[in-house]
Amino acid sequence: MSERPVANLNKPPRLAACDCLNCGSGIEFDASDFTEDETRTAECPHCHKETSIFVEREKPVASINSPTAETDSMMPKQLSDFIGQNRVKARLELAIAAARQRGEALNHILLIGSPGSGKATLANIIARAMGANVKATTGPTLEKSSDLAGLLTNLEEGDVLFIDEIQRLQKFIEKYLYPPMDDFKLDVVIDQGENARSVRLNLPRFTLIGSAEKKEQLTRNLLSRFQIIESMDDYSVDELAAIARRFAKSHNVAIDEDAAGRIARSADGMPLDVLNRLRHVRDYAHVKGDGKISLAVAEAALKMLASSGETQDARESREAIPSAVRREVWRRDEGRCKKCGSRKNLEYDHIIPVAEGGSNTARNIELLCEACNRAKSDLIR
């Protein structure tokens, strides 16, 4: 059986895809010479019937290389600046050093962890350490093989492609990713009809960094293509407090040690939640005080995030929820209010209060937004 021709084109084809009007299957084609709004007739390679092909509007490519001014001022630039995850960082430092010594692209990496645990930040740091650019997308947004092909053919040697929620890739997209991950080749269809032929493109050697919440969410075939698989560890309260202090320092905000610890204990165990709470406390300190975050200021500001009628004992019991339970509840409720689906001002609420015999288990805790939690409290009263 003859091998497919290998194309090493100076300028890669403009890949596009649309659905067959007869069978609904996706058709890939080279649209390099297509004009805007042009439609042509071609034979579908699946049902072999004549159909129309056209170029759909391209989707913008997200990049985690372009942070806002606020996030850039506090974004860790290297692994030594990243607080926590010492075991994960040690493995990554070794892999980066080895790849740089060999002058090769870094092996593909899978990062496992809850939302807000710092996976995207680590991807950015890895790319910086390798002197590479990084492009980011998410599994659900890659709807056609041409979406993925467009990303791959625009990568340069050594670049990083970060796919968040990689477990949510559609199966045919996942399979389309295998050859690029295995040997940096991409199969595309050039021309249409009788002239259609399959061409294998040489891709630049790149590093794919995928992220998911659980390793079990990935298929065995996809999982086996990652040479480095690391699960994010739990953050300690001290580490979360250090993250809060660094944020405050980067924004020239004075914060007491006790206040940083208080904010860290009130969060869900993830750095992102710490930063969101700290932003609220910072605003409170500027509006209600002299701008300094003391323990009293932090307490008063965090009290605003609790539902009305919630007592200090109830808040303390809420904060006593183990980090693992918080993450399980967050995953189960998909980061949304259980009642209305909102993603804003979320709180961990006991279905049966601890004072009435309820437990700090995932079965007895749900995510509620502040408004729904307040409405629930009013109804109980």
Task: Determine if the pTM surpasses 0.85.
Answer: no
* Amino acid letter, 121: T
CB 4 within 8 A of CB 186: no
d(Cα 381, Cα 373) in Å, to the nearest integer? 12
Instruction: Tell me which residues of the chain have a pLDDT lower than 50.
Output: 1-10, 58-63, 65-69, 308-314, 317, 381
Domains along the chain with CATH numbers: 6-54 (no CATH), 69-231 (3.40.50.300), 235-305 (1.10.8.60), 319-381 (3.40.1800.10)
Q: How many CB atoms lie within 10 A of CB 121?
A: 18
pLDDT of residue 377: 62
CA distance 152 to 155: 5
CA dihedral 246, 248, 252, 258 (to 10 degrees): -110
Distances (CA, A) of 76 to 91, 111, 122: 18, 17, 9
- 252-296 pLDDT, tens digit per residue, is 999 999 999 999 988 888 899 999 999 999 999 999 999 999 999
pLDDT digits (tens, 9 = 90+) for 285-341: 999 999 999 999 999 999 888 654 444 444 554 556 777 788 788 888 888 888 888
Instruction: Report the alpha-carbon distance of residue 10 to residue 305 in Å, rounded.
Output: 56
